[in-house]
């Protein structure tokens, strides 16, 4: 089954946002001193990495199967 153009664009936008957010969490993790906040940031890095891979899988599947405009 192929993906519709608008949903592919929507996923693409989400992936772009998650990329920036992941970079920020990773960078800020080194700067914070509170251990609880550091732990949440670390977990966000792991979760975001997985989410970004999942979004990437959808985008490559869309490219493979073709996008219906």
Partner 1 sequence: MTLSQADPVKMDYVDPANSLNMPEMADMTFAMDFLSRAKEGVRSTAAALTETVSPEARALLRDQLRQGIALHQEISELMIRKKWFHPYELPEQYRLDLLSAGQTLEIGKLNLFPGDTSRKGMFDRTPDEHKGGSMA
Q: Helix 5-29 vs helix 35-65: angle between axes, to the nearest 10 degrees?
A: 150
Contact flag: residue 11 with partner 1 (CB under 8 A) = yes
Contact flag: residue 42 with partner 1 (CB under 8 A) = no
Q: State the sign of the Cα–Cα–Cα–Cα dihedral 56, 57, 63, 66.
A: negative
Contact flag: residue 28 with partner 1 (CB under 8 A) = yes
**CA dist., res. 15 & res. 28, Å (int):** 20
Site of interaction with partner 1 (CB under 8 A): 1, 3-4, 6-7, 10-11, 13-14, 17-18, 21, 24-25, 28, 31-34, 36-37, 40-41, 44, 47, 51, 54-55, 58
């Amino acid at each position: 089954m192929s993906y519709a153009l608008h949903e592919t664009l929507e996923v693409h936008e989400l992936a772009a946002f998650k990329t920036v957010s992941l970079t920020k969490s990773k960078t800020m993790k080194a700067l914070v001193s509170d251990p609880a906040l550091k732990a949440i940031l670390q977990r966000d890095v792991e979760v975001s990495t997985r989410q970004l891979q999942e979004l990437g899988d959808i985008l490559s599947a869309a490219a493979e199967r073709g996008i219906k405009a």
